[in-house]
Amino acid sequence: MPGFFTSIQDLGRKGYGSVGVPISGAMDLYSAKIGNLTLQNKETAAVLEVTMGNCKLVFEKETKLCITGADFSATLNHKAIVLNTVININKFDVLSFGKCRFGVRSYIAISGGFKTKKVLNSRSFYHSITNNAVVLKGDLLPYNTDTKSLASTFSIVKRNSLHFNSKTLTCYRGPEYHLLTHCQTNQITSTFFSISKHNNRMAYQLNELIKNDIESMLTSAVIPGTVQLTPSGKLIVLMRDCQVTGGYPRILQLTPEAINILSQKTTQDSFQFTVI
């Protein structure tokens, strides 16, 4: 069972912006990195990003896992498992995700990383680049057998609860921030914005409108975390799969941490921007 939207992700596809290739990569890089660190993997190891749970996996070889990010009441052979720890997997074990307790995206890191095909130096799924854009029912995801036990480190990565509960997204001024009026900047920093149902790996649209008559600009580069102000006054926060160029004023730029925090929010969740 593949769940709502499950894909292989790593740190992303860097250095191909000049041919129009999006960066991609795990939406919540912070959680994905914790998984790889716990397993003593390389930071670049590919993980499985599970959106909104409802996913079931059967393992064909022994290995080790670490599940991080959102809590979807994960079970191994119907027994509850603990997040952010090393889990030993035997042949034919069944990992299931159920009800969502908190967060939006969960990460399955596996010993040595998933071994799907690398395209342009990355395993991150993206339509028109990798063969698959999303994991489908029955897909086989390659990984290496691992029966070694990890050197005990005694330390368990403590969950940073702010990562899931924070209602503030810290951001820098974007390249077109100076075009905003005093009234607009006040509105942008004092409004509690809620996330519209149009939110995915490419972008999050926000519900509340900002009165806007800024002139259009020539198309220029955009990056994950850019907040665009559209002519209709809608704000769009670009995420990991965003295009490389855009034509709307880039009023804010989320910090790397804020992008990770936003990745764990979804429709109707709300937050405030803090400009540094």
Partner 1 sequence: MTFNLKYKPYGNQVILIEWPARIEESILEDIINFKQKIKNDNKYHVQDLIIAYNSLTIKYHYPFKDFKKQMVQLKNSYLSLTTRVVTESITWHIPVCYNLEFGLDLKGLAKEKNLSITTLIDRHSNPFYKVYFIGFLPGFLYLGGLDKTLHCNRKIVPRFNITKGSVGIGGNQTGIYPSDSAGGWNIIGRTPISFFNASLDKPCFAKSGDNIKFRPIDKIEFLEIENKIARGTFTLKQN
Please give the residue ranges that form the binding site for partner 1 (CB under 8 A).
Answer: 14-22, 119-120, 128-130, 172, 174-175, 217-221, 223, 225, 243-245, 250, 253-256
Instruction: Indicate the residue among 55 and 242 with the shorter CB distance to partner 1.
Output: 242
Least separation, in Å, of the C-beta of 3 and partner 1?
25
Min separation Cβ 243 and partner 1, Å: 6
Shorter beta-carbon distance to partner 1: residue 165 or 245: 245
Measured from the CB atom, the residue of 17 and 98 that comes closer to partner 1 is 17
Shortest Å, Cβ 250 to partner 1: 7
Contact by Cβ (8 Å): 115, 142: yes
Q: Kindly state the smallest distance separating residue 202's Cβ from partner 1, in Å.
A: 12
Q: Which DSSP string corresponds to the chain?
A: ---SEEEEE-S---S-GGGT------SSHHHHHHHHHHTT--TT-BEEEEESS--EEE-SS-EEEEEEEEE---EETTEE--TTS-EEE-TT-EEE--S--EEEEEEEEETT-B-PPPBTTB----TTTSS-SS--TT---------PPPPP----PPP-THHHH--EEEEEEPTTGGGS-HHHHHHHHH--EEEEEEESSSEEEESS-----PPP---EE--TTEEEE-TTS-EEEE-TT--SEE-S-EEEEE-HHHHHHHHT--TT-EEEEEE-
Whose tokens are 């990991």? That residue is 240
- Nearer of residues 108 and 238 to partner 1, judged by Cβ: 238
- The answer to whether 205 and 234 are in contact (CB under 8 A) is yes
Q: Which is nearer to partner 1, 53 or 225 (CB)?
A: 225
Q: How far is the CB of 225 from partner 1 (least distance, A)?
A: 7
Smaller CB separation from partner 1, 21 or 47: 21
Instruction: Tell me how far, at minimum, the Cβ of 129 lies from partner 1, in Å.
Output: 5
Which residue, among 92, 56, 51, 48, has the nearest Cα to 74 in the 3D structure?
Answer: 56
Closest CB 190 distance from partner 1, rounded Å = 23
* Residue with Cβ nearer partner 1 (52 or 239): 239
